[in-house]
Structure 1
Amino acid sequence: MENKIKFILNFENVEIEVSPVKRLLDVLREDFNLQGVKEGCGEGECGACAVLMEGDIVHSCMVAVGQVEGKEIITIEGLQKTPRYKVLKESFEDAGAVQCGFCTPGMIIASDALLRKHPDPTEEQIKEGISGNLCRCTGYNMIIEAVKIAAKRGDGLW
């Protein structure tokens, strides 16, 4: 059975007729063609499908689209429309924190959520903030450094 689900997606009001139990990940990729949201593990453990829901990081593979009724969802494509993204992107590049790129959208989403809560994070807060995201190529030291750089460069953005 399909329902009309209304929510805010990347700063725009959207409405979709869909089964409320369909995964948000699938709706974002299939119905809205947002390919920055990836399926990695499908179990909420790798972070490749990370999005912001009401400003908090969630794994979209674990969220039924019916749960987002009336809520704001921001994907990496939406974050790209903000000045925060430019700072994060450049910081990740400068720190060498990008290799294959599969985890990068989720890492940037997690970093944005972290920096909005802790604009001047400690290393422990950074580790905790990105802990739900796996990276098999780059290694976490460069990602931690990228977040430190972004925190310094983004003074006032978060």
Structure 2
Amino acid sequence: MRAEDPALDDTAALGSLISPVAGGRVEKLVTDAISKGANIRAGTASFNGAIAQPVVLEGVREDMDLYYQESFGPVVAIFEFATNEEAIRLANDTEYGLVCSVFSKDVAEALAVGRKIRSGSCHINGATVYDEPHLPLGGQKASGFGRFGGMACVNEFTEDRVVTIKAPGQHYPI
């Protein structure tokens, strides 16, 4: 999978980030992690302005900026853990809490883990990108300022209006 400017190559799997500044921010996070011992598991740490190639890093630790900051780029950090309790601690060790995913062959166990992670929504055996207009979206901690979506959002952005049409020859009794 590679990223490219969609205006130059519409076959690329990923487009550009919002700006070169965003690309520089992602590059800084990845470079910091690698300089402190993280390893590239897949992809490449390649950056060109707003184009950031996808990269998977393993060995991300608490002394790396990427551990605490959301990259908003094509970066995956792999964290190893031995127990569910350690995984829950790692997932909750952040000021953010928008969305989480828990993957397991045992759905009941995954649900039990998901219930302990402080996030606005949790997906069991599914990706965090799951935007349905009828479901509210919002986070906890620094990721949350209420909820967006669902009926509350529909009601907030909808104005009721009545329109009638009288067809030719149709008679409405008065």
Q: TM-score, length-normalised on structure 2?
A: 0.25
- Please tell me whether Structure 1 or Structure 2 has the larger radius of gyration of its CA atoms: 2
**Bigger helix fraction:** 1
